[in-house]
Structure formats: structure tokens, C-alpha cells
Amino acid sequence: MTKKKTFLTLEQAREIAKTYPTPFHIYDERGIRENAARVTEAFSWNKGFREYFAVKATPNPFLLKILQEYGCGVDCSSETELMMSDACGFSGEQIMFSSNDTPAGEFALAAKFGGIINLDDITHISSVEEELGQLPETMSCRYNPGGMFELSNGIMDNPGDSKYGMTPAQITEAFRILKAKGVKRFGLHAFLASNTTTNEYYPKLAGVLFREAVRLKEETGAEIAFINLSGGVGVPYRPEQQANDILTIGREVRKVYEEILTPAGLGNVAIYAEMGRFMLAPYGALVTKAIHEKHIYKEYIGVDACAVNLMRPAMYGAYHHITVLGKEDAPLDHVYDVTGSLCENNDKFAIGRELPEIEMGDYLYIHDTGAHGFSMGYNYNGKLRSAELLLREDGSVQLIRRAETPKDYFATFDFCNIMDKYLK
């Protein structure tokens, strides 16, 4: 099998574990910075380009501050994500608020910070009015064309089954209503596929949105200020997959831009993106230690991490590559299920995976957890979420979130005295 590279060695893992016991999530500062610079370069042809990092992917202020240095904004979808972004110094149009089924008060908080509200549904217009009194001068709407979304290599997703966005008729009516109520600058947004590993996705999506923007301008007279390509640019979780080339993607989006928008008088439209996975996933890893082995109908290796630390394999059957640190060149001559300790049989990081022989105390490096890894954690079985660490460019390690303690788990009982012995 093709190998995937790690950004951490066995020696580093051992040294880190002396201070921060496994399991822990760790992020590669150098990789994050280099990738952010590539994204900026890929779309530098568009003067208004901005990457709005999807906070839900990795909600950590230390990482948000790094991306901020490269001109990134933030894409928020909840009250706490807005609060974190505000605390990090994001403000005004550096914030995109793209929620759905939005609880009361969150539109008002987004507006308080000066963020752009991206409406998921036409009925949300009245919700914004009720909360704000009047509509902001700049607003965006999420578009859903329905049907299947296909590329040359097959069906990528089914927007018709997606809960997100407005139909063509609805978004036309929404633009008309918003314009009549004083909105002056409009944005268009769509999310049609997830984790695509093909350079075709963004250019194809751009074509869909650019043509829709031209139609909306012609039919409603709205000023289209920006078009948001959202996320969906994926990463190669499997070692045999080829990584997307963001520079090629940027060039191809530019071609579509010049073919569709420029001739329609929309050559000043800003291009936005909301990539979370592409920005950070390859630059994070979950490091865990083998603590048990079991030999029954299959061979099992039990580790000290579980689905609480990384739920994608349990939730989706998602593949995450595993490297046994220090055994990168050893033959893959054993077949294991790699499991956590939850009382659920789907708590497995790998099923029937070919790996080198694993001995107790070995460190397993689970790849590509930099996005939708720690952020999807939970506390089932009373398990506690791990620390998050940053491997700095100089080789030092910084704690960027401490591990949870039992006191954190019991903190919501602070209104009574039942758990006092564990809250002191």
C-alpha cells in the first residue's frame, strides 16, 4: 500500500507524551501556513477573494489566529462560533454567518459583530427583520438547484435531498423582497458536494453559480457583490488518492469567471470560499497508544483513544489512515481491528486493516484529523476529550487546548451539591 507521510516522529511522540499523555490531537503549524499561502496564491487573480474558514471544522482560537494572518475570514453557523470569532478579533465582513434552522437571537449577534448574514431559506427574511428591525445593506442567499450534481467521474452528490438552500424560484423571490426592503449588495452561495477529490468540482460549481448570478442580476436588478463557492474541496484520506491541486483549481475557476461573469458586466464580483477540511485536515493527527490486544474471532488492538476523540469512522465508516510510529517501513503482515473502549461496537478506527505487528505501548498516528476531528467530539460513556497541541515551526510544542477533566464533565451540576466532591 502507498504510504502517507507523518509530520511527527516516534521520538517526538514519546517526548510529547511525557507532558501531554495520549491521546492528543496535534497540528502542524508549518503545513497550515504553507497551505494557507497556496490558497491565497490560487485566487490572487480575484481582488476581492477571501477564504472564510469553516469554524465548525476546527474551532480553536490559536488556529484561527494563524489563518487570520493570511487574510482569512471565518464562516460561522452558531452563537458560540460567532463568540469565538469575535474574541479572535474577526469583525465586520470578515465574518460570514451561514446557519440553518437558526435559533432566535443568532442573526442579531451576527449583525452586532457586523457579519454578513447568509440566508438558508426565504422564510428567514422575516426572522432577520424581527430580530434587527431592518435588514442589513449586504446579505447573501444560499442556492440549491436540486437534482443530481455530476462531474465527468460520476455523481458527486444529490442536492435534491439536501436540506440546505433555496430553489431557483425561491431565491429569485428572495432577491426581489430583499431589494425592496433596502438590501443593496447581494451574495450568492451554494454547497453541492462534500469532500471531493477532483480538481473539477470548484470550476463546475462556479459555472452553476456564475450562470445563476447572471440570471438573478437580469431578472431582479440586484447588485451581485460576491459569489461564495463554500466548501467541498476535499483531501485524500486514502493513500492511493490524489490530492487536489488548489493552484489548478484557482486557474480553472478564473477561466469560468472570464467566460461567464466578465461578459455579463460582473467582472468585479468577489469570489469567496469556505473551506474547512482542505485548509486543515491533512495538518492534524490523533496520536494514541496501544494498550490492549485481544485474540478471538478477529485480532483486535485496543488504543487509549475512542470515537469521542474521532467519531468519523464510527459515524460514517470513514477511512483514516494509520501509521505505527517507528514502524513506517515494517511489513504490513498483520490484520487488525483498531478499537476504542466505548460500549458500542462501531467504536473502531480501522476494520480489517493491514498493519505491521503492533506491540503494547506502540504509538499509532491517525492521519488527517485536522478538520472534523476534535470538533465532533462528545462525552458518551463519560469519556473526556483530549488535549489539542500545536507543533510549532521551530519544533516546540504548544498546548492550545487542555484535556478535559472529570471536573469539566460534572461542571453543569454546579447548581446543586450532588457532585461537590468532584467539583472542588
Please compute Rg for the chain using Cα positions: 23
Dig out the grid coordinates for 27 from the structure.
497540528
CA distance 94 to 82: 11
For the chain, the residue count is 424
Distance of alpha carbon 154 from alpha carbon 135, whole angstroms: 41
H runs (alpha helix) in 43-167: 61-68, 79-87, 106-112, 124-132
DSSP string, 151-176: ETTEEEE-GGG-S-SB-HHHHHHHHH
Could you write out the DSSP letters of every residue in 369-406? -TTTTGGG---GGG----EEEEE-TTS-EEEEEPPP-H
DSSP β-bridge partners for residue 116: 96
User: Position 104: which residue type?
Assistant: A
In angstroms, the CA 10 to CA 314 distance is 26
72 assigned to active site: no
Query: 121-150 as b/e, with b when 16 or more CB fall inside 10 Å?
Result: bbebbeebeebeeebbebbbbbbbbeeebe
Question: DSSP strand E in 166-321: where?
Answer: 185-189, 224-228, 270-273, 284-295, 299-303
Candidate list 72, 76, 306, 343, residue with the active-site label: 343
Active-site amino acid positions: 343
